Structure 1
Amino acid sequence: MTHNKSQERFVNPYNFVPLEEKCERQEFKQGTLTGYLECTLETLTPLFIPNTSYNHALHKEKEPKDGDHLSYNFYSYENLSHSGVKKDALYRPVIPGSEIRGAIRSVFEAAFNGCLSQVNQNKTLHRRSMQPKKPALLRKTQNGWEIKECYRIILNTDPRNKNKIGKYGTFIDIKKLKEGQVLYFSEMNKHKKRPTIKHIITDEIKPKKGFWKTGYVHIGEPCDTKYHESLFVPKNNKVWELIDNQEIELLKKVLDKYNMNNKDDNEHAGYKEYRKIFYNLMDREPIEEEKDIFIPVYYSEIKNEKRFFSPAMLSQEVFNNTVGDLLRENGGYQPCESRDLVCPSCALFGLISKQTGQSLASRIRFADATITDTNDIYMKPIVLDELGEPKPGTVEFYTIMPDGLKGKQKKYWTYDYTKEGSKSFDLDPKKLRVRGRKFYWHHEPKYLENSKLKRMRQRIRPLKDGATFTFRVYFEQIAEDELKQLQWALDFNDLSSAHKIGRGKPLGFGSVKVTIKKLMLRQIDKNSGSWILKDQSIEKYRMEHSTKSMENVLKITRFENGLEDKISYPKVTPTDYAKSKPNDAASHQWFNKNSNNRKDFSQVLPTIEEELDEKDKRNKWLKVLKK
């Protein structure tokens, strides 16, 4: 794969509204306004919200009804799991109030400097590293965890070499090997750069005669074209070194991630045997006689400190720094934790803190949106193409380049370290900023009409564009400024901007326009002394000024943005289509190549402003990479 950029431009489906310098929190105060806003919601592109009561509603005959093949009808109040109910019927569609609430809160937070309320502060950040790691042995002693550097010999497990010596030496049956097993062997230097095994003994009794070396078996994940395993041989000139327990915790997280990714896959076992041995070591109280119980491990170095342990040479790296660390060190944008000191968003929408156990009730409520006209509102069932899950480990998209790297020719960083040439350096979280709040660009939807269901593809029945709903937003004891902010978060004071809700937002689905039709405020009747609801002009409660954050929100929420035909996931163009495979053009190939083997990032995500600039910022645009 070449590292040259083609001239073909693409726009990533999402971008970020930047954070301000600091999240301002104030003492919580109630206002005096109570009432509701009556609104309409119009679909500008097809919209889909699944009725999850039954996940095989639109299956065709003979399509498997299992957890990998899913199809959904649009959301309604009908429980499709009941027997006798027609699963694929055209029921009256409903948009849950919670769906609308989430979109409005996202805009409110971005426009009015709220915290990042939905962020999981303790979520493990990880990234696949294409830089080969070094082999070592790991053991647990009374002093703590220790490693010793090794060299690696490739074991020949190719059955085609059963009766001969292959390029990796003498054949050994994979069925006779197990993780961490001791082997005794003699080398032959047929290949100067790659020692190979001439004689090998698979039992654990070391021969009394002859010169035999000791190695430890490491078994990787299975692969159709894989015909070898590894033998880790301790280097005699290296000593055992103590390591920090934090690095062991990161290895545990790496193994747990492998297990989670492959928990239902028997072929790729998620290093189950390796995890079992590792957890046995973790639970074991070490005694002097047991310090020769080893487990093979790969590692990379930063400032000569051993870290980023993994069972694979090319593997995921799990980082020490979390999103919560970054938010706390950069303006305090972590979710609010106290009901007494809250950001503007939590003051209105409420909060529940997992950290402190405190909560604050919401002062607004979104009712479900009901359809106004049910004539010809549904599309025929279609299939959504694969949707990528959020990958905050891609720092070149989710974070801003650390100040210390600006101006340098080679620029590579993670959440824990930066690289300059071949050396790695710890990264202070104060020097790394998250880009902000994620928003999706509006564009024409992309879908498949007559495709078969696959593991990552789902059949759905969306609503057409042009469908109209009505809903209400109830509020209680809010201030006048809060009502103005809520109004702006609903309709932007701008006819050209729209929200995104529902499933398939990266593919262009879910663009909706909200319009405020009526404002009703509760007042005291002077004659009777009772509470009454009175119609008020919404114009009195419209925002009359704009901030930089509000302007950035308007830029990315504009429905006609001029980028519609350029929006797609990162992609790679094969230079030889005849020999290319489906995986060759997958999005992860672009990220793998863009990091240039962990030496530098060729491209980083442009800002919203840079994407919209047709002249001066073209050198910032993302380009398709060629394979």
Structure 2
Amino acid sequence: MAKDYDTATAPYNFVSLPQGVLTSPIEGDAMSDAERVENYRAHVLAKGRLSGRIDLEIKTLTPVFIGTGVDAGNAVENFFAPTGIPILPGSSLRGMIKNLFKIVTCSAMRAGEDYHDQVLYFRTMADKKDNMRKLYTTEMATTVRKGTNTISETKAEAGYLVQQTGDDGYYICPAEFDIMTYGGGRQPENEVRWGEPGSGRADCHTGRMSKKGTYTRHRDPDWTQRIPVPDNVVRAYREDSSRKGVELLDEEKGNFCAKKGNAAASFTGWDDIHFVAPCFYKTDAQGEIAHFGFGRFYRIAYHMSIGDHVLRMESDRIDYTDALFGRREEREHARVGREQTNRRSGCKELWASRLAFADAVPKETPRTEAPHFPQILSAPKPTAVQLYLEQKNGADRLAHWDSAGVPIRGYKLYWHQKNGTAWMNREQDQPNTQTKCKIQPVAAGNTFYGSIRFERLSEDELGALLKVLCLCDGHLLCKIGKGKPLGLGSIEITPRLFLTDTEDSYRSAFDGEGGWNTAERETEMNAYIQAFGRELDRLGKDVRARYDKAQKELVHLLRWDHTKKPKWEEKIAQMTIGQGDRRFQGRAILPTALDVKETLIK
């Protein structure tokens, strides 16, 4: 039965970006990394700095799974338990808290650290939305009349992708092509059927499809003309993780269709060619290869990268995350063609973290769930622009990755789901290509104890960390480990602050009861949280307004009481393809986190 609404649902949503960065006072007027290091040293050695620990009581609200990885043949991937007893690794706690810390402190979002900057590929020739369809056809297709029929012809040219002996680069040799008609019988799969050596002929089949009646035949290549393919175009092709069908470059992937070594030399008749694959391609206004692919209507790359939509969040100035979690030397940016890449000048560490996360150990031997194969969710990828980009103009005027000035949705977080067994795949009883082993999470209701040790923090720095740990009325409700879309990983963290009185520890080695004098005293947290709150006043008016909205979205996403709402599972369900649910194909827009309410379900 078809859905009677066109709003997208997903087990995740986003915390939007403030489009501005709150710098740490350490930054000052520094003009170089050397000056930043000097500022940092002065900052941590200043009088009144705070050291101590934050004890963490961690309760599992749902089953939680942090795996170890498995060797081939193992039936069950066990929970992380280096001593035989499951623990929550300090590294996992650190990563989870650091991600939330970035959001709370309005820190920078940097390529290579917070997201992988790349150009994405698309093929929207048959898209239901006019602007998405025209975006592709304007570049790749033209329509012509043949008798009473209107057909699409490609704007791409045929060629052979080649690689020369002793050269890591790729070239395209132009060729001609014919459109061939299938006779009777079954259509071939995605494949190349090569002609005789020296013939220059290759038949290219792009897979079975209802009513498909044609394939293409490459012929008459000019092996002497070799057009260089820019490195960034090759790199972008390799990074297209959503591509299906014939693979031209990666031998490890399925449907690899190229001749190599002696076979390539024999087919082309040129001893210096050791790789050859038939392709289609287009050049830009300067005559350089803009993109390439296998069939006539292959997937093409957007011109803008993901990083072009991370608006005003890329900053090399020191933010609070750098200050507490450590900082490496200044990044060097370079743009190669249409793809932005980020390099580090040697990746030298400027200073280490002033936080140490201990493993969280259980109060008693944790109860575990019975081993089961997990459910498989095929989550949409960033190519689903209706989910991953802000949409201000509705479904009929979708913003896409070539829409200038459109920001990404922000930081992706998963909703809490009611404790249950929805993660289990009760129909699977044997390993398959997607799920090779069972998992055994720890059950809901277990308690673990961990800590964060901190050294020489300012009041506002300590307050920023405490604010993260107290986001949910003095607690932190968040998700950790694997299986978050399936409802796994929900935990509640309760913090307690202990400050160290260094001078007291020097005065006496023993406390009043004859034990070692740790000079640690439990301390209230609100004053430090307020100290960080005052630092937020340095944000500009517009950035502060967006920051405040983002914090409301964050708290809304972390609320556990959503799980008690009627039909909550439907409101955050992963959309399916087929089964009467046409929202994904229709590019239904994902509402903002604050708009996910009861009214979404009719």
TM-score normalised according to structure 2 size: 0.68
Shift of 1:140: 8.9
Distance verdict in 2 for CA 1:413–1:316, change over 3 Å: farther
Find the counterpart in structure 1 of residue 551 from structure 2. 550
One-letter identity of the residue aligned with 2:463 = K
Distance verdict in 2 for CA 1:222–1:321, change over 3 Å: same
Find the counterpart in structure 1 of residue 457 from structure 2. 478
1:51 and 2:72 are equivalent in the alignment: no
Contact 2:8–2:583 (CA<8 Å) still a contact in 1?
no
Contact 2:17–2:410 (CA<8 Å) still a contact in 1?
yes
CA RMSD of aligned residues (A): 4.6
Match of 1:7 among 2, 5, 8: 5
Contact 2:65–2:482 (CA<8 Å) still a contact in 1?
yes
Distance verdict in 2 for CA 1:527–1:126, change over 3 Å: closer
1:448 and 2:425 are equivalent in the alignment: yes
Find the counterpart in structure 1 of residue 410 from structure 2. 436
Shift of 1:47: 0.5
Find the counterpart in structure 2 of residue 363 from structure 1. 354
1:343 and 2:343 are equivalent in the alignment: no
Distance (whole Å) between structure 2 residues aligned to residue 495 and residue 158 of structure 1: 71
Contact 1:439–1:556 (CA<8 Å) still a contact in 2?
yes
Match of 2:157 among 123, 130, 136: 136
Find the counterpart in structure 2 of residue 599 from structure 1. none
Distance (whole Å) between structure 2 residues aligned to residue 385 and residue 432 of structure 1: 34
Contact 1:40–1:468 (CA<8 Å) still a contact in 2?
yes
Q: Deviations over 1:16-38 (max 9, x none)?
A: 11111212334143261111111
One-letter identity of the residue aligned with 1:465 = A
Distance (whole Å) between structure 2 residues aligned to residue 388 and residue 496 of structure 1: 32
One-letter identity of the residue aligned with 1:343 = D
Find the counterpart in structure 2 of residue 386 from structure 1. 376
1:74 and 2:57 are equivalent in the alignment: no
Q: Deviations over 1:114-136 (max 9, x none)?
A: 12356466543423414275241
Q: Deviations over 1:438-463 (max 9, x none)?
A: 11111135222462222222411111
Distance verdict in 2 for CA 1:407–1:385, change over 3 Å: closer
Distance verdict in 2 for CA 1:252–1:522, change over 3 Å: same
Find the counterpart in structure 2 of residue 515 from structure 1. 494
Find the counterpart in structure 1 of residue 50 from structure 2. 33
1:153 and 2:179 are equivalent in the alignment: yes
Shift of 1:261: 10
Distance verdict in 2 for CA 1:572–1:409, change over 3 Å: closer
Structure 1: 5+ residue runs without aligned partners?
A: 60-70, 79-90, 161-167, 182-201, 206-214, 418-426, 576-584, 595-601
Distance (whole Å) between structure 1 residues aligned to residue 80 and residue 249 of structure 2: 29
Shift of 1:251: 6.9
Find the counterpart in structure 1 of residue 514 from structure 2. none
Distance verdict in 2 for CA 1:390–1:410, change over 3 Å: closer
Give the secondary-structure state (helix, strand or coil) at the position aligned to 1:435: coil
Contact 2:202–2:219 (CA<8 Å) still a contact in 1?
no
Find the counterpart in structure 2 of residue 331 from structure 1. 312
Which aligned pairs between 1:220-259 and structure 2 lie closer than 5 A? 220=205, 229-232=215-218, 245=230, 248-249=233-234, 253=238
Find the counterpart in structure 1 of residue 574 from structure 2. 569
Q: How many pairs align? A: 492
Distance verdict in 2 for CA 1:274–1:241, change over 3 Å: closer
Distance verdict in 2 for CA 1:511–1:302, change over 3 Å: farther
Contact 2:498–2:521 (CA<8 Å) still a contact in 1?
yes
Distance verdict in 2 for CA 1:450–1:394, change over 3 Å: closer
Which aligned pairs between 1:111-510 and structure 2 lie closer than 5 A? 111-116=104-109, 119=113, 123-131=117-125, 133=140, 134=154, 135-138=156-159, 152-154=178-180, 156=182, 177-178=193-194, 181=195, 216-220=201-205, 229-232=215-218, 245=230, 248-249=233-234, 253=238, 268-273=254-259, 296-299=278-281, 307-327=290-310, 330-333=311-314, 336=316, 341-352=317-328, 355-356=344-345, 357-359=347-349, 360-374=351-365, 377-388=367-378, 391-401=381-391, 407=393, 410-415=396-401, 417=402, 427-428=403-404, 431-444=405-418, 446=422, 447-449=424-426, 451-452=428-429, 453-457=431-435, 458-494=437-473, 498-510=477-489
Distance verdict in 2 for CA 1:567–1:496, change over 3 Å: farther
One-letter identity of the residue aligned with 2:238 = K
TM-score normalised according to structure 1 size: 0.66
Distance (whole Å) between structure 1 residues aligned to residue 470 and residue 322 of structure 2: 20
Contact 1:35–1:533 (CA<8 Å) still a contact in 2?
no
Give the secondary-structure state (helix, strand or coil) at the position aligned to 1:347: helix
Distance verdict in 2 for CA 1:608–1:260, change over 3 Å: farther
Distance (whole Å) between structure 2 residues aligned to residue 407 and residue 50 of structure 1: 42
Distance (whole Å) between structure 2 residues aligned to residue 9 and residue 407 of structure 1: 14
Shift of 1:274: 8.8
Give the secondary-structure state (helix, strand or coil) at the position aligned to 2:322: helix
Structure with greater proportional strand content = 1
Distance (whole Å) between structure 1 residues aligned to residue 263 and residue 460 of structure 2: 60
Shift of 1:350: 1.4
Distance verdict in 2 for CA 1:122–1:549, change over 3 Å: closer
Shift of 1:280: 12
